Amino acid sequence: EVSTEDPEMAFCTLANREDLNPEEGSIHHCLYQFTRNEKLTETNKLLCDVCTQRLCGPKNNIKSEKKYVYTNAKKQMLISLAPPILTLHLKRFQHAGFNLQKVNRHIKFPEVIDLAPFCTAKCKNVAEGNTKVLYSLYGVVEHSGTMRSGHYTAYVKMRTTNNHLSDLVLRGQSPQALETEPVKGQWFHISDTHVQAVSASKVLSSQAYLLFYERLL
C-alpha cells in the first residue's frame, strides 16, 4: 500500500538507520539485520501483476495463457505501528547438521531503546515531527540449560504506574512528550518461589531470551 501511494517513501524510516553503526552482538544489530533492505533477484524475483497485465492483457486471460512476468524487487520489514508493549524474542538455537544447538552467546541490550530507525516514516501512532520512539526495559526472561532441558527465570522491575502507557493501551492515544530516561524502580530476580532484589547491571548482563519494553515516547 505504501509503495503504491509513494514509492520514494516506501523504504524511509523515522530516523536515519545508517547513523546507527550497531555493535555486533547487540540487540540493535539484531534489529538492524532483521529490518535490512533485501534485493529479490533471480529465483526470488517478484511476480508483478502490472507487468503481467501489460504483456498478457486483462486478468481473465492470465490464467488461461499461464504467462507471468517476474521482476527484480526490494523487500524490507519495518514497523508500521509502534506497540505500547514491545516484546523481543531472541532466536536461541541454530542448526548443526540434523540437530539443533542452543546459542549461549550474550546479546547486549539497553535499558532504553529507540525504535525510530526501524519504523516506517509514516508510523501510524507516532506524533508528527517525532524522530524518536523510545521504550524502557521492564522485564527479561532467561533460560539456562540445553535444548532438551533447562530452567526459566525472570527479571522484573517494580515501578510506578504509567498513566500515559494506560492511555496508549486503552485509548490508543499516542505519547507526545514523555520521559526519555528509564522508568525508575527496583529490579527483582524471580526463580520459582525465590525472589531477590538485584541491580540493573545484573539484569543487563543476563542471557536474555525474551525482552519486554514499555513505550516512553
> Which amino acid would we find at residue 123?
C
pLDDT at position 1, please? 40
Residues 41-51 pLDDT 10s: 998 888 888 88
User: 180-194 burial, b if ≥16 CB within 10 A, otherwise e?
Assistant: eebbeeebebeeeee
How many CA within 13 A on the CB side of residue 129? 3
What share of the chain in percent tops pLDDT 70?
83
How many CA within 13 A on the CB side of residue 65? 13
pLDDT at residue 60 is higher than 60: no
Region 79-215: CATH code: 3.90.70.10
Residues 82-119 pLDDT 10s: 999 999 999 888 777 777 888 888 999 999 999 999 99
pLDDT at position 206, please? 95
Predicted structure pTM score: 0.81
